[in-house]
Amino acid sequence: MPFTLSYPCDDFGALIERLENNSRGIGIPEGFVPHSTFWLVTDEQEVVGVSNLRHALTPGLQREGGSIGYGVRPSRRGRGYASLLLKLTLEKAGAIGLRRVLLTCGKENVASARVILKNGGVLDSEEFIEERNEIVQRFWVDLAKPANGGCQ
């Protein structure tokens, strides 16, 4: 789940200001890159998912973390929300000028891998990450190519 979910939200205005600042590189820890947070909200105004788009890759993010993190509310999983959220976040990535997006995910996280593959992810590498005690897979999405290979 994106770490910005842990930001206090009792003062909504302050939360929005903090997130906007983060997207401009303000108020972020040393070594962090500017990042944008997006909420997936239904027509009924329910927040069902959140994504975090990192505007650049550091060596650490290249190893594990990638360009985008996302999560869906547990009670709303299995309804296609993550697939939609990633699709919309990839559009945001294209809008800030990224040409390729790196996505990483634990090898056991089959649902997330499926979401990535459905959005045009191509497996690049995998590595056992000791701190996580799991194998992490890395996928690239080429934003110049349509996710479905051009087929309708």
Ligand X SMILES: CC(C)(COP(=O)(O)OP(=O)(O)OC[C@H]1O[C@@H](n2cnc3c(N)ncnc32)[C@H](O)[C@@H]1OP(=O)(O)O)[C@@H](O)C(=O)NCCC(=O)NCCS
How near is the Cβ of 13 to ligand X at its closest, in Å?
Answer: 27
How near is the Cβ of 121 to ligand X at its closest, in Å?
Answer: 11
DSSP 31: T
Whichever of 27 and 80 has its CB closer to ligand X, that residue is 80
Whichever of 31 and 78 has its CB closer to ligand X, that residue is 78
Which positions touch ligand X (CB under 6 A)? 1, 70-72, 77-83, 105, 109-112, 114-115
Alpha-carbon span 25 to 31, nearest angstrom: 11
The closest residue (CB) to ligand X is 82
Alpha-carbon span 23 to 142, nearest angstrom: 22
Whichever of 5 and 14 has its CB closer to ligand X, that residue is 5
How near is the Cβ of 80 to ligand X at its closest, in Å?
Answer: 4
Alpha-carbon span 38 to 35, nearest angstrom: 10
Whichever of 34 and 65 has its CB closer to ligand X, that residue is 65
**Which residue blocks in the chain are alpha helix, DSSP H?**
12-23, 59-63, 81-95, 110-118
* C-alpha pair distances (Å), 102 with each of 60, 85, 92, 142: 12, 16, 14, 9
How near is the Cβ of 84 to ligand X at its closest, in Å?
Answer: 7
